[in-house]
Chains A and B, each alone.
Chain A
Amino acid sequence: MFQIIKNEWRFLVRSRIFLGISIAFIAILLLSVFLGNYQTQKQEQTHQNATDHVRQQWVSIDEMNPHSAAHYGTFIFKPSNLLSSLDEGVNSVTGNVLRVEGHVQNEITHSEASQMQAVSRFGKLKPALLLQYIVPLLLVFLAFNSVSNEKQSGRLKLLVLQGAKPLQIILAKTFSVWLYGVLLLIFILIVYGILNSQSLTADILARTGLFFLSYGLYYFIISGLTVFFSARWQNATLALTSMLGIWIIWTIFLPNILMSSVEKWHELPSRNEFQTAMKEDRSKGLDGHNPSDKRSLALKEKVLKKYGVDSLSQLPINFDGMRMQADEDYGNSVWDKHFGNNRSVLQKQKQSFQLGGIVNPFISLQNTSMGFMASDNLHHQEFLLQVENYRRDFIKMLNDKQTFGGSKTGDWSWKEDNAFFKSIPDFDYKPTQISAVLSNYILDVALMILWTILVLTMIVFGTKKIKMV
């Protein structure tokens, strides 16, 4: 088998057309890696500058009423992920700046939520675009006549007469085509590693390894299937047509059809519906800015009773801050309900979409590629959740200061000094652990392994039916 692989590679290396295409393609790949990396680094720098600027603004507050500061708020910038320079995933549609303010939670739904799982990457030169769409096409063009050419030229008979078994020939041809895809992948990862050598961590390496595994499996499926068709069909044109048909169905039609179906099965509320439902539920709770609100009055009675006083002016605390926090707590529970609902819908969408991998391994590849490169919806939701938790702590600190900081109810002119604002910690993003990611995408990896086994089985059993004459 080694001899056949070696011979296939001799052909690849000596073919001028192939070498020309390879060099041009590698140049485009290099460009995409450099551009992706440059874009990520620039974005990272911009985000860092913006984060520093916003933090500087915050810590520069001389004195301000804490509740006013809650409305003054701050901004959080989604940290750029080094890995997303390989696969941008949903980042291009989710946005990466979030406002942190009292009473205002960020929404999980956004304008392009309908494409969150299957984002079209056409039009943006990222390595993932080339690795997912173009490399498989190259593999198809390399493999479609690999066996049929041998059959038509009569060399297959000579090979078999020399002792090579048909299965060996087909497997060797599959491996040599697959190896081309894998070498391109390794090349990209090495360039990416060199460009980011100082930032590589165990997490990034593990994710990159899983990224490599996913693509390696997908390339084997494509190579094996094409070589199989090349061996089984009577002519190369039929093998090429079959594989191009499969490529179009797998990469263009099925992901969109499946995503649309999944969205129908597990419907996510529109932005308008989400906002209306939130507004409606919030209206049932306490209004922090309205002292004559019924629930506000009930809270007032409870607090007066707790402190054993008759009026707000006798309270040792500022009831305004307490009312604001109660409003906030209620708003949080409303958000938890709706955010939780959306999260659960998105999770169901994701799980149903993952099952699409049974008929289309490209879906599994897209999922794992985004997932392992930390640019999927799961990572985005995790970021939103961390921002929301930070927002809650942030607003609670401000409301608590308003309540217990020494001011009296109704004293809106009371201000806290700079030391307090400086003491409020900045947002600290904790990246999602690879173990959490892996458990979410184990199904996709398993489906690709099953596809690989299926293709191998087709090769093993299909080879027996290959007509030599």
Chain B
Amino acid sequence: MQLSCNYKINLLVLRLSCIKNNFMIQIQDVSKSFKGDFAVQNLNLEVKKGEILGLLGANGAGKSTTINMLLGFLNPDSGKVSINAIDTSQNAQETRKLIGYIPENVNLYPYLSGLENLDYFCKLAGLNYSKTELEDYLTSCGLASDAHLKKVSGYSKGMRQKVGIAIAYAKKAKVYLLDEPASGLDPLASNELSLLLQKLASEGATIIMASHDIFRVREVCNRIGILKKGILVKELNSKDVSANELETLYLKFMQN
């Protein structure tokens, strides 16, 4: 009873702090290990509403683990992960309603068209949109209208990603989590993705983008965090560094 009361008080304090600081995502002192090896260690991160945070790091740096904890698919061993002041390990069902997730490869149903995929995922979320509304979402996310009714099996990676973002957009997600979104995209598609993310952020979406692509992250994100072996070794504003400086910094951390 007392525990529950304390939890509610903590939650209220957290929520008030979130409102005050405008934080949509808070990661507080989070550690997660697998078979004794730390994937994430004492991680602290806060992302404000409308902000884009880029997470840079090599393979195994803890980027995907962080995203999976935000998605509520992994629970931290210690610390707290919250979205809109809701603890993801306590109430993943609620936090997932706020999240749009775009993995490296958006694997949609290849036998359905982009429109049908969007319709299906929306219906799963309990959203019944008209065909026109669905088309509007796809168009807003950059998918050309002549592709709407084509089967996804014929889509490029970039086109599938646009549908993936449209799914999150139609869900009215407040938080977008992107895991290596630019990997394998051609420069044009990558640029389109950057513009789309900036548009979403300008509409109030909070975005975390995990990537290896130093230049794309610097271009799109407001803030950048560099992860190494589960530890946040550097956090900086993207405006404060040039692309070359960021690369030098990144390589320095990776080599040490």
Contacts and interface: CB of A to CB of B under 8 A. Distances in A.
Nearest to A159: B124
Contacts of A4: 124
A154 B105 contact: yes
A160 interface: yes
B103 A157 contact: yes
A3 interface: yes
A163 B73 contact: no
Interface string A430-442: 0000000000000
Interface string B149-171: 00000000000000010010001
B74 interface: yes
A11 B126 contact: no
Interface in B90-113: 93, 96-97, 99-101, 103, 105, 107-109, 111-112
Interface in B124-147: 124-126
A159 B124 CA distance: 7
Contacts of B68: 469
Contacts of A154: 103, 105, 107
B112 A158 contact: no
B112 A10 contact: yes
Contact of A7 (B71, B96, B120): B120
A157 B71 contact: yes
A162 B125 contact: yes
Given A11-B109, A161-B101, A469 B125 contact: no
A154 B111 CA distance: 16
A161 B105 contact: no
B62 to A, nearest CB: 13
Nearest to B74: A469
B123 interface: yes
Contacts of A469: 68, 73-74
A7 B119 CA distance: 11
B38 interface: no
A155 interface: yes
Contacts of A160: 73, 96
Interface string A1-35: 00110010011001100000000000000000000
Contacts of B74: 469
Interface residues of A, number: 20
Interface string B170-206: 0100000000000000000000000000000000000
A157 B124 contact: no
Given A10-B111, A157-B73, A162 B103 contact: no
Contacts of B167: 158, 162
Interface in B47-98: 68, 71, 73-74, 93, 96-97
Given A3-B124, A154-B103, A469-B68, A161 B96 contact: yes
Contacts of A14: 111
A163 B97 contact: yes
A164 interface: yes
Contacts of B109: 7, 11, 155
A468 interface: yes
B73 A155 contact: no
A413 interface: no
Contacts of A11: 109, 111
Contacts of B121: 158-159, 162
Contacts of B99: 161
Contact of A163 (B100, B101, B125): B125
A161 B112 contact: no
A159 B171 CA distance: 13
Contact of B171 (A3, A162, A164): A162
Interface in A97-120: none
Contacts of B73: 157, 160, 468-469
A11 B121 CA distance: 15
Contacts of B120: 3, 7
A240 B97 CA distance: 34
A4 B121 CA distance: 10
A168 to B, nearest CB: 9
A14 B113 CA distance: 12
A131 to B, nearest CB: 28
A153 interface: yes
Contact of B107 (A15, A155, A468): A155
Contacts of A10: 111-112, 116
B34 to A, nearest CB: 10
For A157, A162, A163, the residue with the greatest tally of chain B CB atoms inside 10 Å of its CB is A162
A154 to B, nearest CB: 5
A160 B105 CA distance: 17
A4 B126 CA distance: 13
Interface-centre pick from A4, A7, A159 (highest chain B CB count, 10 A): A7
Nearest to B124: A162
Nearest to B96: A161
A147 to B, nearest CB: 14
A164 B122 CA distance: 11
12 contacts: A3-B120, A3-B123, A4-B124, A14-B111, A157-B73, A158-B101, A158-B167, A159-B124, A161-B99, A162-B121, A162-B167, A163-B97
Given A14-B111, A157-B73, 18 more contacts: A4-B124, A10-B111, A11-B111, A153-B107, A154-B103, A154-B105, A155-B107, A157-B103, A158-B121, A158-B167, A159-B124, A161-B99, A162-B125, A162-B171, A163-B93, A163-B97, A469-B68, A469-B73
Top 7 A-B pairs, shortest CB-CB distance: A153-B107, A162-B124, A468-B73, A14-B111, A162-B125, A469-B73, A3-B123
